[in-house]
Structure 1
Amino acid sequence: MIRSYYEHGAHCVLVDVGHSYKGLCDLVGGYYFTYSERDPIKFNPFFLEDDTLDTEKKESIKTLLLALWKKDDETFTRSEYVSLSNALQGYFDHLATHSELFPCFNTFYEYCKEIFLPALRKEGIKDKDFDIDNFLYVLRPYYKSGEFDYLLNATENLDLLHQPFIVFELDNIKDHGILLPTITIIVSQLFINKMRKLKGIRKIILIEEAWKAIARAGMAEYIKYLFKTVRKHFGEAIVVTQEVDDIISSPVIKDAIINNSDCKILLDQTKYINKFDRIQELLGLTDKEKTLIMSMNKANDPTKKYKEVFIGLGGVLSKVYRTEVSLEEYLTYTTEEKEKMKVQEYARRYGSIQKGVAMLASEIRGAVA
């Protein structure tokens, strides 16, 4: 489904736990953000895709800086908000006259310390209005040689607005108290930016099992906002879960997702047969739809390799469809570790995932024949 969206020109933003989309992302040449000790996740919110600092971009950076500076239970004052606005505007004005400087958190931090701080002192701004010393101290870990100096200083994969396929893989940081909240803010601001600026282009955000971690990071209200407004901007929000109970555990998520989802796609529900009445009630399914769902994969054609899937459109149209992919697609999408390693081996051997998958599929067909 996501491949089809992409091939029809949609911009796809995927938030995942489990590396389900690595193969597809490599295939289409997208951006794949993930974390490892050797290659930690990197962004650059200070990079201007269109070389202009509009209000939306400034608000996005301010939201991020305030989240890094203040604790969840801390509020910011009007004077702090204004001071950050002035710091950002001054920083980008400074960049405009100093082309040798690269826009990133490091140069922003240096601007605040070396230029903005003295200016505040000269104007007589009090700490109670804007404690810049505290601001610089708290954000020091994101500056050169700090614990998270990599996070906001990326020098590649910068233009997220115009990149049509982006995957955020959160598996290794889903319980991280600093990285996860920061990345969820970046993801939310990114998709809002795409929604409002990419006119006439379909935008898709798909949140896999990662949405449970995101909801913990204070994103429940954002997901609620997303599901209520995304269609107005020629966009679609998709949530994937293996357990319906996960959705209903959060009242905000439950109301936002279920009540605003006209399209429901269900795979084989055989293992839930004894508690499907509850699922039926939660999803608002009719008895006819329940019968269709419970009939899936019960009488498949043994000569063909396919799975059945139920698609319901707002209670108006409900059908069960056969889904079958080519061997090449299967190898690209597989999440089986042994198969993934084989695909990666062939990709390295033949120079690209396209050639690797083609050669591996050819060998498999030859062995079967």
Structure 2
Amino acid sequence: MKLALAQLRSKTRRADGAADLTQDPAGVPGPSALRVGAQSVELPGGVCASFAVAGYPREVTAGWLEPLLTYPGRLDMSLHIEPIPPLIAAQRLRRQLARLESSTRANTEHGRLADFGAEAAADDAAELAASLARGHGRLFRLGLYLTVHATDHTELSAEVERVRALAASLLLDAQPTTFRALQGWTSTLPLGTDTIRMRRAFDTSALAAAFPFTSPDLHPRLGETPVVYGLNAYSSGVVLWDRFEQDNYNSVTIARSGAGKSYFTKLEAARLMCHGVHVAVIDPEDEYALLADAVGGTRIALGSPQVRFNPFDLPPGQGEDTLIRRALFIQTLIATMLGEPLTPTGRAVLDRTVIATYAKAGVTADPRTWKRPAPVLADLAAQLDHAATGKDGTDADREAAAELAGRLAPYVAGSYRGLFAGATTTRPEGHLIVFSLRDLADEVRPVGMLLALDAIWRQVANPADRRRRLVVVDEAWTLMQQSEGAKFLYRLAKSARKHWTGLAVVTQDAADLLSSDLGRAVIANSATQLLLRQAPQVIDQIADTFGLTEGERAFLLAADRGEGLLCGGGTAGERAAFCGHASPFEHHLATTDPAELATSTAAQPGIQPDEDGDPL
């Protein structure tokens, strides 16, 4: 049968001479002709044949359709899924059970041999009926159709044999759509129309195993926050991973400079935000500015002019001891500013002075006063001066107060006063919070980093605002060089799961991470481990730590940008080599290539390119 659309052309024309598309099918874009045969359809430039799967294996595993998706030729596959109402499903299962049991009884009464196929079907039907009765699953009707394409009939015959052999290896009975070739072809088009309607009943678990976009190398537990990491480097299947369904939600990403680790981390953070996950980032090199601006996040550039961050702000929802906890943090902050631990006398004087500073601002232990404007660091210095010149306390107390006031002078009236010169300018709130540390001087960086870490921990540990969160520490080797930053990483790696939070540690200095007790603790408490391209100098240490095979070692040494190895908890059975992919818009937000950023910042003069990193 030949459908020549050109022969159906209408002679009707509009008054202006243009074709009337309502009466002229030739004006509609489409193939000029289709020749429909008994088992094939001839298209312009090719020919195709379709199959409907009529038989399925009794038991399947996750990703069992992967060989069909990765077939090297042109093969279209479509899944048509229709839910069956529970009441109708229960009635049909009862009838099926009755037929199978009556057949078994009849065979027994007449002395025939047992039909083991019927017995297996009866057992499956009984188990499925019990599952439906308990509400553990549902029934669906699924139609699986295949369309093979080739350039001519000779090539099509060879492709059909290969596809049928592949289907047979999967225990699939693929039957040609004889005399329904056109319907078979249209059923595999992205139209959502099943004109063949050759379907099979599937329960929930079997349907989930038939999900086509699953890597056969991984068997992850997918919940509400699955993220596409990329395509499988060997089978071209999609690698999906849900960090919030693992034993813990932490991850560690190790790669050499330029391998795409920051790029990949930005992609995962952006895709997790689509699931409602709140993300906080410690950004040493201001690489997350584009992402924050694009998604309406909060970016706090510590060290920039006119940016203030008041450490005396009282966080909401922290309980009755909020003021006491803040006073203790101020003591830790002052010790970091001074660069050494406080003496017992100095700590006692500072504790009294901090409480007095809050009291002078009208903030007391009464929670009703906590909404009043908080004092600033200059108020604390004034209280220390008052304690140094007052008559209260001992000479040692007055001497300690004078010393503290003198050593805090650079942060109050000197070169380091910019960050503490007033009230907080930007509150760390929102679904994405980025603390940029690039503009901080080296002398002030430990202090600014401590302020950022404290703000993140207050949100993570707030019981009144419990939600999925991800804390990203990019270039973690810079944080580990600071004692307070190292303590924060260790505490978050140990207890983040209890607060529904994941810690994502990203570093290019594998030696520092693997040679320290802190680094090994972070790795041991990370159920998601990502290894991108590695340097030959550290590959032996990486291989020993993660138990890499010789093939995996060679893959990481020769990996291109964006290619990596996902290790689910470090076990050999939960590993997949993948290649990350991003849409053009995602690439624009995630790239750190200086050449690309120099071009894009011509239209956005407020964003400066970074000096390190490459796109995938």
Name the TM-score class by shorter chain: 0.7 to 0.9
Task: Give the letter aligned to residue 238 of structure 1.
Answer: A
1:61 aligned to 330, 340, 347, which one?
Answer: 330
SS at match of 1:342: helix
SS at match of 1:239: strand
Structure 1 residues 86-235: aligned runs within 5 Å: 86-96=352-362, 103-114=375-386, 116-117=387-388, 121-128=390-397, 131-144=400-413, 146-160=414-428, 162-173=429-440, 176=442, 178-198=443-463, 199-209=465-475, 211-218=476-483, 219-235=485-501
| Aligned-partner Cα distance in 1 for 2:415–2:525 | 41
| Aligned-partner Cα distance in 2 for 1:59–1:189 | 12
CA deviation map 1:286-314 (0-9, x unaligned): 668658767966xxxxxxxx954432211
Change (3 A) 1:294 1:132: closer
**Deviation, structure 1 residue 14:** 1.6
2:566 aligned to 293, 311, 315, which one?
Answer: 311
- Determine whether 1:238 maps to 2:512: no
Contact 1:31–1:157 at 8 Å: present in 2 too?
Answer: no
2:295 aligned to 11, 28, 52, which one?
Answer: 28
- Determine whether 1:47 maps to 2:316: no
**Deviation, structure 1 residue 31:** 3.3
Structure 1, unpaired ranges of 5+: 298-305, 354-369
1:325 aligned to 571, 582, 589, which one?
Answer: 582
* Corresponding residue number in structure 1 for 2:547: 284
Contact 2:308–2:422 at 8 Å: present in 1 too?
Answer: yes
Change (3 A) 1:28 1:295: same
2:343 aligned to 64, 76, 80, which one?
Answer: 76
Greater CA drift, 41-50 or 231-240: 41-50
| Aligned-partner Cα distance in 2 for 1:46–1:6 | 30
- Determine whether 1:252 maps to 2:517: yes
Change (3 A) 1:5 1:157: farther
- Determine whether 1:341 maps to 2:598: yes
| Aligned-partner Cα distance in 2 for 1:100–1:258 | 43
**Deviation, structure 1 residue 132:** 0.8
Task: Give the letter aligned to residue 11 of structure 1.
Answer: H
SS at match of 1:8: coil
- Determine whether 1:18 maps to 2:279: no
**Deviation, structure 1 residue 197:** 0.8
Change (3 A) 1:4 1:129: farther
**Deviation, structure 1 residue 329:** 1.4
| Aligned-partner Cα distance in 1 for 2:531–2:524 | 16
CA deviation map 1:240-270 (0-9, x unaligned): 123422322x42233222222221112245x
Contact 2:281–2:472 at 8 Å: present in 1 too?
Answer: yes
Task: Give the letter aligned to residue 565 of structure 2.
Answer: F
| Aligned-partner Cα distance in 2 for 1:130–1:238 | 45
SS at match of 1:166: strand
* Corresponding residue number in structure 2 for 1:360: none
SS at match of 2:455: helix
Change (3 A) 1:92 1:172: closer
Change (3 A) 1:257 1:107: same
Contact 1:10–1:204 at 8 Å: present in 2 too?
Answer: yes
Structure that is richer in helix per residue: 1
**Deviation, structure 1 residue 134:** 0.8
Change (3 A) 1:168 1:159: closer
| Aligned-partner Cα distance in 2 for 1:207–1:229 | 16
CA deviation map 1:332-367 (0-9, x unaligned): 22212232233333346xxx99xxxxxxxxxxxxxx
Structure that is richer in strand per residue: 2
Task: Give the letter aligned to residue 264 of structure 1.
Answer: Q
SS at match of 2:357: helix
Contact 1:221–1:252 at 8 Å: present in 2 too?
Answer: no
| Aligned-partner Cα distance in 1 for 2:504–2:334 | 28
Task: Give the letter aligned to residue 278 of structure 1.
Answer: Q
Contact 1:35–1:41 at 8 Å: present in 2 too?
Answer: yes
| Aligned-partner Cα distance in 2 for 1:262–1:285 | 16
Contact 1:15–1:208 at 8 Å: present in 2 too?
Answer: yes
CA deviation map 1:170-225 (0-9, x unaligned): 34547x1x21221222133222212211542223222222x222222223333222
**Deviation, structure 1 residue 282:** 1.6
| Aligned-partner Cα distance in 2 for 1:2–1:108 | 39
Change (3 A) 1:29 1:44: farther
| Aligned-partner Cα distance in 2 for 1:15–1:124 | 42
Greater CA drift, 16-25 or 217-226: 217-226
Structure 2, unpaired ranges of 5+: 1-267, 364-368, 608-616
Task: Give the letter aligned to residue 297 of structure 2.
Answer: G
**Deviation, structure 1 residue 96:** 2.1
* Corresponding residue number in structure 2 for 1:366: none
* Corresponding residue number in structure 2 for 1:367: none
Change (3 A) 1:28 1:258: same
* Corresponding residue number in structure 2 for 1:357: none
**Deviation, structure 1 residue 10:** 3.0
Q: How many residues align?
A: 327
- Determine whether 1:3 maps to 2:266: no
Change (3 A) 1:24 1:277: same
* Corresponding residue number in structure 1 for 2:214: none
Identity across matched positions, percent: 20
Tell me which structure has the larger Cα radius of gyration: 2
